[in-house]
Amino acid sequence: MHDLTQTSRREPVSGVARRAVLRERLAALAPLAGLIALSVTFVLVGNAHGVNMSYSVQTLVNQSVIIVVIATGAIFIFSMGSFDISLGASTLVAAMAGGLTYNATESLWAMLAVCIGTAVAASLISATLAAVFDLPVFVTTVAMLSVLGAVAVALVQTTGGAQIRVDRSFAREYDTLPVKFAVAAAFIALCVFLFNFTRLGRAEKLIGGNPMAAKLTGISMKKSAIAAFAIAGLGVGLGAFLTVLRTPTLTTTTAADIGMNVLVAMVFGGMPISGGPRSRIYAALIGGLSMAVLNQTMTTLLASTSAGNGLAQVVRAAFFLAVVWVASSGHRTKLLPR
């Protein structure tokens, strides 16, 4: 009996198909190649300027680990084709609540629990509002951005000053690389499992790829959105915990740029803006490291100029636009119809 399966396997792959597969693989490797190129540039620039590379690498890790943790959780939202603009404000409020809790209890675990609980609650409020009023989650996160800003001001005012201070000796005791790596590794492992090996991860990617198809297959858009925001809230809570350890003096400007940094990091890491099946957890790791390396390199190059910080922002914006343009070119026509 003729085996149709074996016959189909023997069919020659056309040159067009091979080139398409090759382009897809090269596109998937581009973020990693970019990270390697940035790392080589960082080493060359650092050595040329006589920089203490050991200290620079430690600073690089401190900059990237919080971004990586928050971005890893936020990928569940971005894979659905949505994004949360209130990540920075949520991190700030969770860190402040955790700091106040430590000052009241002097308990590390109580501080961790309050950081996570506050961040998850803020995320679930955004998701629930979107589900109840049938609004895009982006709209509810814009509203939460204002609310959380007001909450942060109110929390600071409870101290009678403009800061919330946590014992520096306590923060230094736990602000170590083993603690940061343990927190990041545990959360990333959890997210990799949920995103790649459970129905939840497949549903999030299908919603981002084609919401109508996801709905017709019986996937609950609201439940999926609430689950995505809960996981993102867990990442924000862990990021807030690490923020308190790293910056024990909290003000209303703490973590102000985290939301934008997370967005830029994910794009650097190859995360599609439209979400969908090409979403990958490793985009957060590669993107967070790439952005930290770029920031350190620009800091070294522009340290002697008075406008160094402004120029670094311009260069980072140019990189962001270039990466988005390269990543989106030729992809839009391949998207499934919505």
pLDDT in tens, 51-71: 777 887 888 888 789 999 999
Q: What are the tens digits of pLDDT across the range 258-268?
A: 887 888 888 88
For residue 85, being part of any structural domain is answered with yes
For residue 297, being part of any structural domain is answered with yes
For residue 110, being part of any structural domain is answered with yes
Which of the four pLDDT bands, split at 50, 70 and 90, describes residue 134?
confident
> Which residues lie closer than 8 Å to 132 by C-beta, 6 or more apart?
none
Region 120-127: mean pLDDT is 89
Matching residue, tokens 């930290």: 292
The residues facing 249 across adjacent strands are: 165
| Higher pLDDT pick, 6 / 188 | 188
**CA pair distance 268, 244, nearest whole angstrom:** 26
For residue 161, being part of any structural domain is answered with yes
* 59, 196, 208, 268 from 299: Cα distances, Å: 12, 37, 36, 19
For residue 35, being part of any structural domain is answered with no
What is the reported pLDDT for 2?
A: 46
The domain tally of the chain equals 1
Q: Is the pLDDT at 308 greater than 80, yes or no?
A: no
| Neighbour count for residue 1 (Cβ, 10 Å) | 3
What is the reported pLDDT for 116?
A: 95
For residue 44, being part of any structural domain is answered with no
**CA pair distance 98, 141, nearest whole angstrom:** 22
Region 39-54: mean pLDDT is 82
Which of the four pLDDT bands, split at 50, 70 and 90, describes residue 111?
very high
**CA pair distance 103, 119, nearest whole angstrom:** 19
For residue 326, being part of any structural domain is answered with no
CATH number at residue 105: 1.10.3470
For residue 331, being part of any structural domain is answered with no
**CA pair distance 32, 269, nearest whole angstrom:** 8
For residue 73, give its domain range. 53-321
Query: H helices within 49-176, ranges in order?
Result: 53-78, 87-105, 108-133, 137-157, 168-174
Matching residue, tokens 């597969």: 21
| Higher pLDDT pick, 46 / 230 | 230
Which of the four pLDDT bands, split at 50, 70 and 90, describes residue 338?
very low
Which of the four pLDDT bands, split at 50, 70 and 90, describes residue 337?
very low
